Amino acid sequence: MRRIAFFSLILLLVLSSSAFSGTENVESLILDLKSADPELRRTSLVQLGELGPDALPGAELIVQALSDEVYEVSYAASNALEKIGSGVLPYLEALLVEGTGTVRARQAAARLIGRLGSSEQIAALIAAIDDGAAEVRIQALGSLGRLVDEENAAEIIPVLCQVVAEDFNSGVRKAAVDLLNEIGILSEDVLSALAVAFDDLQLEVTLAANRALRRNQAAIMELAQTMLKSDHPEYQWAAAVLIGRVPQQIPEALPDLVAIVVNPENGMKARWAALAVTASQAPNLNQLNSDSDAEALFQWLQTQISSEEQNLMVFKDAAKQLIKERIESQGLPTLEHPGEWELVFFDDFDGDRLDMTKWSYNYPWGTGHTHNHRAYMLPENVIVSDGILTIKAENERHPDAPLFVEHDGVQYLDYTSGVITSHGKFHFTYGYIEAAIKVPGTPGFWPAFWLLGDGWPPEVDIMEILTRNPRELHINYHYGPSWNNKWSHYQKFTVDDLSQDFFVYGFEWTPTYMRWYLNGEQIGTAFTNQEWIAQSRNLYIILNLAVGGWGGDPNESTVWPGLMEVDWVRVWQRK
């Protein structure tokens, strides 16, 4: 018994000595961390790491060593902290929340929290997302990915959405998008963040958003279609952007996209995005149901592109493109092989002045001079406003008009009016041209839409109306050296009152025939198998409002001013 008691006493003394020696060793190693010798600091950290949780008393100094200027020392500190275990987490959290230490130290702290921590450390990682260093923010997002679960996802998702929208570093934005993709929970805010990412200027962010869309496309599109109907402008914008990324989804969304565009109460950002997507699908707009009313959309677009209000300028380019694509998608009235034509000239008279790259004032043969009527032609009588070109005839004599200009015993130039031509700016040989025009309805005016060569002949009268009878439409082709019928192809038609609305006057010109159209229906034909007809080349466009002349003079029933209004002019040619 005495021998057993003796050995027990010896064992107790040995264990006590070992414990005392271990504690003494930790304290000694901790003191070595303050050494000026970096190698001693590094080896001390390695030994502290080998002690595992027993080295916890030195955790505060070890965390400080993460900021050591010598990389090998800070690296050893990181390894030691990971081996010590979760007991070091409070020190790491403090480092992140307070933003102290070096960037490398905070980055290591964020990484270690991801490896050692739990949902209790989420707040510290979220705090690190506000760190001034992108490396720290990216690492914090990576660690959040390790710790996120169903219970804390609701806390993390809004932070990620904010990062995507606001962080100035593309790597951080990409990391946030990747984490949203990994979490996989969809909401209006998440889709808004993805839309922001698709709109990002940096490819890495856009690619991350694209991966997220591919991973869960069906669910994202289902929610996006619903978001189009939202009253929230940001959700409308996001839905339009995302649906625009999946072209096969656009036809289903068109009615809602149009509704967003035409409603002035929606945000400008949402309306622009919806318009851009709509413009990409112009050929499908003719399939819109009556509730969506495609025509209302185009009327609205015409209004917007003619406006000079600053908050509407954003729509102009997209609106013009959409209208142009719709025109092309509609094809040409009764023409052969409609898919073989392309739009080569187009003016819808947007803005508040004439496009001088396409048109000139006055006839080419003289400023102010007339053709064969009684009006002195002035640029100021040509007005562009609200998407309409208006040529205005006034019952007044201009002071610059010559006093003694007579023809057939009638003194000319005692009225004013206007004319535009494409002379020197647009000439064409063969094609299809049309214009939407509304004319005056009282006597004395002679509106015309015609083509002319650099000399005379040839002359094509696509539309001439003598407003003493606005139900008569005159067409003609002068192709020889004389005005007589031998050298002309003249026809007259009785139609609806052409002063009551805009009518579309069209003319098709090929090497073998000419055809005239009214509102898309063919009304006249001439064949170009005669020498003078075959020689017609390089014709330019003229739109004018004459007073008197062939149409007869104004009288007491004439309403002044006389107005010729033109909505648009278009020219197609074969590709």
pLDDT, tens digit (0-9, with 9 covering 90-100), for 375-406:
888 999 999 998 899 999 999 888 787 765 55
Whole-number pLDDT of residue 156: 94
DSSP assignment of 396-461, as one string? Answer: S--TTS-S--EETTEE---EEE-EEE-TTT-EESSEEEEEEEE---STTEEEEEEEE-SSSS-EEE
Of 12 and 426, more confident: 426
DSSP assignment of 278-343, as one string? Answer: HHTTGGGGGG--TTT-HHHHHHHHHHHHT---GGGGGGHHHHHHHHHHHHHHH--TT-SSGGGEEE
The whole-angstrom separation of Cα 471 and Cα 456 is 29
Put simply, whether the predicted model's pTM sits higher than 0.75 gets the answer: no
Name the burial class of residue 265, with classes exposed (0-12), middle (13-18) and buried (19+) by CB atoms within 10 angstroms of its CB: exposed
Look at the block and give the residue holding tokens 């015993």: 409
28-42 pLDDT tens trace: 888 888 889 999 999
The whole-angstrom separation of Cα 270 and Cα 274 is 6
Task: Decide if pLDDT at 308 tops 90.
Answer: no
Cβ contacts of residue 208 below 8 Å, gap of 6+? 174, 177, 178, 181, 197
Name the burial class of residue 375, with classes exposed (0-12), middle (13-18) and buried (19+) by CB atoms within 10 angstroms of its CB: buried
Average pLDDT for 99-121: 94
Look at the block and give the residue holding tokens 């494409």: 422
Whole-number pLDDT of residue 262: 79
Q: What are the backbone angles phi and psi of residue 363, rounded to the nearest 5°?
A: -70, 150
Question: What torsion do the CA atoms of 102, 105, 111, 113 make, to the nearest 10 degrees?
Answer: -110
Q: What share of the chain is helix, strand, coil (3-state, %, to 5)?
A: 50, 20, 30
328-377 pLDDT tens trace: 665 566 555 555 778 889 898 988 899 999 999 988 876 666 667 888 88
How far is residue 487 from each of residues 455, 478, 493, measured CA to CA in Å? 16, 6, 20
The 8-class DSSP code of residue 363 comes to B
Q: What burial letters (b/e) apply to 328-365, b meaning 16+ CB within 10 Å?
A: beeebbebeeeeebeeebbbbbbeeebeeebbbbbbee
Name the burial class of residue 404, with classes exposed (0-12), middle (13-18) and buried (19+) by CB atoms within 10 angstroms of its CB: exposed
Average pLDDT for 14-22: 42
Q: Are 358 and 570 in contact (CB under 8 A)?
A: no
The whole-angstrom separation of Cα 573 and Cα 76 is 76
Q: Which of 279, 291, 219, 215 is nearest to 250 (CA)?
A: 279
Cβ contacts of residue 404 below 8 Å, gap of 6+? 411
* Cβ neighbours, 10 Å, residue 192: 22
The sign one gets for the Cα dihedral 122, 127, 129, 135 is negative
Percent of the chain with pLDDT over 90: 53
The whole-angstrom separation of Cα 147 and Cα 118 is 6
What is the C-alpha end-to-end distance of the chain, expressed in Å? 116
Strands 375-377 and 415-417: parallel
Task: Decide if pLDDT at 177 tops 70.
Answer: yes
Q: Are 566 and 347 in contact (CB under 8 A)?
A: no
Q: Which of 1, 71, 62 is nearest to 26 (CA)?
A: 62
The sign one gets for the Cα dihedral 340, 344, 348, 351 is positive
Whole-number pLDDT of residue 17: 41
pLDDT band at 159; cut points 50, 70, 90: very high
Percent of the chain with pLDDT over 70: 79
Q: What are the backbone angles phi and psi of residue 13, rounded to the nearest 5°?
A: -65, -40
Average pLDDT for 434-452: 95
Cβ contacts of residue 168 below 8 Å, gap of 6+? none
Q: Are 32 and 48 in contact (CB under 8 A)?
A: no
Q: Are 538 and 458 in contact (CB under 8 A)?
A: no
In this structure, which amino acid lies at residue 335?
Answer: L
453-507 pLDDT tens trace: 877 678 899 999 999 999 999 998 877 555 444 456 788 999 999 999 899 999 9
Give me the count of residues in the chain: 575
Mean pLDDT of the chain: 83
The whole-angstrom separation of Cα 49 and Cα 55 is 7
DSSP assignment of 220-272, as one string? Answer: HHHHHHHHTT-S-HHHHHHHHHHHHTSGGGHHHHHHHHHHHHH-TTS-HHHHH
The whole-angstrom separation of Cα 521 and Cα 504 is 10
271-286 pLDDT tens trace: 888 888 877 665 555 5
Whole-number pLDDT of residue 255: 82
46-89 pLDDT tens trace: 999 999 999 999 999 999 999 999 999 999 999 999 999 999 99
Cβ contacts of residue 431 below 8 Å, gap of 6+? 341, 344, 508, 509, 571, 572, 573, 574
The whole-angstrom separation of Cα 509 and Cα 82 is 84
Of 52 and 549, more confident: 52
Q: Which two tokens stand for residue 277?
A: 């997507």
Whole-number pLDDT of residue 364: 84
pLDDT band at 176; cut points 50, 70, 90: very high
Q: What burial letters (b/e) apply to 105-132, b meaning 16+ CB within 10 Å?
A: bbbbbbbbbbebbeeebbebbbebbebe
The whole-angstrom separation of Cα 258 and Cα 149 is 40
Q: Which of 301, 330, 327, 297 is nearest to 314 (CA)?
A: 301
402-433 pLDDT tens trace: 765 555 555 567 899 999 999 999 999 999 99
Of 569 and 20, more confident: 569
How far is residue 466 from each of residues 88, 407, 544, measured CA to CA in Å? 97, 19, 13
Task: Decide if pLDDT at 514 tops 80.
Answer: yes
